[in-house]
Each structure stands twice: as C-alpha cells, then as structure tokens.
Amino acid sequence: MSLIVQKFGGTSVANSERINAVADRVKKYVDNGHQVVVVVSAMSGETNKLLKLISEVNSKPDPRESDVILSTGEQVTIGLTALAIQERGIKAKSYTGSQVKILTDNAHSKARIINIGTENIQKDLNNGFVLVIAGFQGADEQGNITTLGRGGSDTTAVAIAAALNADECQIYTDVDGIYTTDPRVVKNAKRLKSITFEEMLEMASLGSKVLQLRSVEFAGKYKVNLRVLSSFEEEGEGTIITYEEDHKMEDPIISGIAFNRDEAKVTVESIPDTPGIAYQILGPIADQNIDVDMIIQNIGHDGLNDFTFTVNTTELNKTLDILEAMKEKLGAKKIIGDPKVAKLSLVGVGMRSHVGVASKMFRTLSEEGINISTISTSEIKISILIEKESLDSAVQALHKAFNLDQ
Ligand code: ADP
Ligand code: ASP
Ligand code: MG
C-alpha cells in the first residue's frame, strides 16, 4: 500500500464530467489498495472570474478581503469532488486549507506555507477516508484566510505530500508531462521522460507555469517524488523530477526553453554612480514585497548610470509609484516603465560543459531579426529580454536551432 497525493488543476475539474473522471481515477487507486489524498484547484476560469468581480467593486482591494473571495473557488471543487468519490461507494471528506491547518505567513495573495498540521488528516486517512483538500489556500496565525499565489495548488499538493511523507505526488494537468517548451507555442515540442530538479527549478522560476515555483522548491527541500501527468489520459508515465546528479556525456546541452510574458522593464535613468545606490532603489521595492528579477546597471558617462530591472507586469504601476516618489532623492533624471517585453530563457545542465550556447542563441535570433535588450546568464541558463510580439517566433526558432524537436 502506498500513500499517493494527486493534484488536479483547473481544466481537470472544469465541470461535472471532469470531476467524475477524477473520482473514477481515485477509485482505481483505492481499489488497488492505495491511500489517496486529493488536492484540487478551482474550476478553470473561476479564479479569473473572481478577480474580475473584485476589480469591479474596488480599484485598490484590501488583500485580506480579496483572499476571502479567491479562496471560494477551491471550496466548491473540494465539496463536489468529495461527493463524486462518495457516489462511488468510497469514504471521502473535504477540507479547506484552514481546516487542515495549513499555516501561512500573512502575505495575502502570495502567502508562504509555514507549517501543516497533519493530526486531523492523518486520523481520517487511517480510518480509510480519501481526503480532498483545497489547493491554493491556508490561514495565518490570526485565522485570516490567505492564498498562495497563482498556480498555488501545486504547492499545496507538494507540501501535503512532504508533510504526510507520501510515496508520490502526482500533478495531473492538461498536458501529459513537462515538455521541451510550452506545447501551445511549439507544436512539435517533446515530452521529457525526466527532468532534473535543478532544471525544473529554473524552468518554473523563468516562467513555465506547468508547476508553481514554490512547489518545486518544496519538492527539492523534502525530496518529494514528483510526477506531472495528464488527467485526460488513462495511462501514461508523464515526467518525473529527478534529484540525482548523474550526468552523462550525451546529456542534451539544452533541456528546455522557458518564457514569461508577464515581465515589465523598469529603467531609472541617469543616477549618480555612488555606493549604495542599488540598495536605495531596490530596498523600498522589496519592502513592498515586490519581487525584482533581472537587474542590470549600465555604466553611463559623466559619472551617471542607468539602472534597469524587471518586475511582474501586475506590479509595474506600484513600482513606478514608489520610484517616482524617490526620484529627487535618488537624483534620477527619468523613470521609465516598459510592459512590452518578454523574457525567454534556455535551460540545461548540459550548458555547464559546453561553450558556445550563448553565441548560437544570439546568432539564431539575429537571423530572425529579433532584437535583444537585456541578457543575464547563470551556470545552467541564459535569459534575455525581447519584445513581447517576437516571443513566439523566437521560441520556435531556438527550439529548432537547438534540435529540441529531435
Ligand atoms: P493546471 O490548471 O492543471 O494547473 P496550468 O495551466 O497551470 O495547468 O499548467 C499547464 C500548462 O502549462 C500547459 O497547458 C502548458 O500550456 C503550460 N506549459 C508551459 N510550459 C510548459 C512545459 N515546458 N511543459 C508543459 N507544459 C507547459
Ligand atoms: N485557482 C488558483 C489559480 O487559478 C490556484 C491554482 O489553480 O493552482 O491560480
Ligand atoms: Mg497550474
């Protein structure tokens, strides 16, 4: 007997037919003698619908109230899924995040899980129940409902798997595994049988929304056996995340291409070249809990520099407001926000032992007439900023140039 955590995303619980399919799958596992914990998302489109409703009644919504509203999507699907499982003669019980006791910090809309109380759910598991747990939500010390950020149900599932020491955490979605790149953009993208934890971490942090970044971080920290599969297929091995560092000579140089369309570029123009300036700019932004991504300081002339970084497009206006308020203190000439950029990244552990990846990337893009505005590299990835409108053709050209379709 194994303990399996199965997470079903929005399209996998989109309607009663899909929820019945989830219940059928759960039954198959229970019939084979496994203990099952199910984690579900809201029905697809539901979280967006709730966000729209919020924006229609308040232009600067109180994050506490937003989380109260956003968490309702998952509350509907846990109840429905538990009922569908019961209909098949199996004991099932739904749990909201706070009923489980998923304790988070109080950073509404992007809360982090601090602890999971397993006492209640362990008891129910021992008594033969299938547990159906709401993804994406928890509660802080005061009992306020919190949400874990978009795609947060992945993190709930992996965290529950870690807390219960599950044998496997299966993430069911609308594709049958992790691909060399988003199959919606490159039709002949290839499914990977496995991907290293490090590569998956990069892919997720660089924009591949198939797994939320924090879920991968959790998986690495607790060495959770993590597999991504399709809820639309009966069988299929999907993609497993591996932890061993057993690289062979024939490792592909590039494993995948990740991209993020939600990136916005911020430039603080002509600031004095003095010690502490980066901290003066980024400190107040971090204080507002805004994540800063690519950071580049361009050496200018006359002792003046340009300082450029990226943030999520949803946080561009807030960032610009903060900087405008400090403009004089910084001695900056101009603050510019550009939401029309996208970040594209090549990822692969094979890059460690190969040179020339960057030059091949730049040559391919130059042949496509695509302009690169910003570049950043690390041991296993190269990221660039380009115009949003050239993103799809850039991804397609690079996918081909690096033989990812072979
Ligand atoms: P869910 O609602 O099940 O959580 P998501 O929409 O969050 O599903 O994630 C699945 C989607 O991720 C796929 O439909 C696909 O378009 C996208 N995706 C992006 N990059 C990749 C990749 N490298 N491999 C597979 N899917 C990817
Ligand atoms: N329902 C939430 C979202 O749409 C969480 C999730 O699906 O993982 O982002
Ligand atoms: Mg998702």
Predicted pLDDT of residue 299: 76
From the alpha carbon of 256, which atom of ligand 1 is closest? 23
The string of pLDDT tens digits covering residues 53-86 is 999 999 989 999 999 999 999 999 999 999 999 9
Instruction: Give the structural domain span for 126.
Output: 3-174
Whether residue 234 is contained in a domain is answered as no
In the numeric block, the tokens 């084979």 are attached to 32
Whether residue 189 is contained in a domain is answered as no
Whether residue 239 is contained in a domain is answered as no
Write the CA distances from 182 to 146, 242, 393, integer angstroms.
30, 20, 13
Whether residue 311 is contained in a domain is answered as yes
Predicted pLDDT of residue 298: 78
Whether residue 224 is contained in a domain is answered as no
Distance (Å, rounded) from C-alpha 217 to C-alpha 338?
30
Predicted pLDDT of residue 354: 83
What average pLDDT does the segment 271-275 reach?
86
Angle between helix 213-222 and helix 153-164 axes, rounded to 10 deg: 10
From the alpha carbon of 257, which atom of ligand 1 is closest? 23
The string of pLDDT tens digits covering residues 153-208 is 999 999 999 999 999 999 999 999 999 999 999 999 999 999 999 999 999 999 99
3-state SS, residue 45: coil
Residues 12 and 161 grouped into a single domain: yes
Residues 170 and 268 grouped into a single domain: no
Predicted pLDDT of residue 246: 61
Write the CA distances from 357 to 12, 256, 347, 348, 373, integer angstroms.
38, 13, 10, 10, 18
Residues 272 and 152 grouped into a single domain: no
Residues 154 and 262 grouped into a single domain: no
Answer with the one of 146, 174, 202 that is the final residue of a domain: 174
Complete edge-to-edge strand list for the sheet that includes strand 102-104: 113-116, 102-104, 137-139, 145-147
Whether residue 349 is contained in a domain is answered as yes
Residues 157 and 294 grouped into a single domain: no
The CATH number of the domain holding residue 308 is 3.30.2130.10
Per cent of the chain over pLDDT 90 is 86
- pLDDT band, very low/low/confident/very high, at 250 (cuts 50, 70, 90): low
Q: Is residue 251 scored above 70 in pLDDT?
A: no
Counting ligand 1 atoms within 8 A of each CB, the residue from 175, 179, 226, 233 with the most, and so the one to mutate, is 175
Complete edge-to-edge strand list for the sheet that includes strand 295-299: 295-299, 304-312, 263-272, 334-338
Q: Is the dihedral of CA 348, 351, 352, 354 positive or negative?
A: positive
CA of 143 to the centre of ligand 1 (A): 32
Domain count, the chain: 2
The string of pLDDT tens digits covering residues 121-134 is 999 999 999 999 99
From the alpha carbon of 42, which atom of ligand 2 is closest? 1
Residues 11 and 126 grouped into a single domain: yes
Q: Which residue has the higher pLDDT, 297 or 133?
A: 133
Answer with the one of 174, 199, 224 that is the final residue of a domain: 174
Residues 272 and 363 grouped into a single domain: yes
Whether residue 307 is contained in a domain is answered as yes
Residues across the chain: 406
DSSP 311-339: EEGGGHHHHHHHHHHHHHHHT-SEEEEE-
CA torsion angle 163 164 168 173 (round to 10): -70
Predicted pLDDT of residue 225: 97
CA of 321 to the centre of ligand 1 (A): 33
Q: Is residue 247 scored above 60 in pLDDT?
A: no
Q: Is the dihedral of CA 121, 150, 257, 182 positive or negative?
A: positive
Extract the runs of DSSP E, i.e. beta strands, from 48-91: none
Per cent of the chain over pLDDT 70 is 98
CA of 211 to the centre of ligand 3 (A): 6
Phi, psi of 302 (to 5 degrees): 55, 35
| Among 3, 356, 10, CA closest to 212 | 10
Residues 170 and 297 grouped into a single domain: no
Phi, psi of 384 (to 5 degrees): -135, 155
Answer with the one of 145, 174, 203 that is the final residue of a domain: 174
Cβ neighbors of 335 (< 8 A, separation 6 or more) are 266, 267, 268, 269, 320, 323, 324, 327
Counting ligand 2 atoms within 8 A of each CB, the residue from 47, 109, 155, 173 with the most, and so the one to mutate, is 47
Residues 143 and 278 grouped into a single domain: no
Residues 22 and 115 grouped into a single domain: yes
- pLDDT band, very low/low/confident/very high, at 244 (cuts 50, 70, 90): confident
Distance (Å, rounded) from C-alpha 63 to C-alpha 35?
36
- pLDDT band, very low/low/confident/very high, at 366 (cuts 50, 70, 90): very high
What average pLDDT does the segment 38-59 reach?
97
Inter-residue contact 399 to 368 (CB < 8 Å):
no
CB-based neighbours (< 5 A) of ligand 3, an ion: 9, 151
Residues 385 and 261 grouped into a single domain: yes
Q: Which residue has the higher pLDDT, 20 or 304?
A: 20
Q: Is residue 223 scored above 60 in pLDDT?
A: yes
Residues within a 6 A CB radius of ligand 2: 9-10, 41-42, 47, 73, 135-136, 150-154
| Among 388, 350, 395, 387, CA closest to 371 | 387
- The residue whose CA is least distant from atom 18 of ligand 1 is 182
Predicted pLDDT of residue 177: 98
Q: Tell me the average pLDDT of the chain.
A: 94
Q: List the single range of 95-99, 206-210, 224-228 with lowest mean pLDDT.
A: 206-210
DSSP lists the bridge partners of residue 36 as 4
Counting ligand 1 atoms within 8 A of each CB, the residue from 210, 231, 343, 398 with the most, and so the one to mutate, is 210
Q: Is residue 96 scored above 60 in pLDDT?
A: yes
Whether residue 245 is contained in a domain is answered as no
The CATH number of the domain holding residue 156 is 3.40.1160.10
Q: Which two tokens stand for residue 175?
A: 């594709």
Alpha helices in 88-212, H assignment, sequence order: 97-100, 119-126, 153-164, 197-205
Distance (Å, rounded) from C-alpha 310 to C-alpha 337?
9
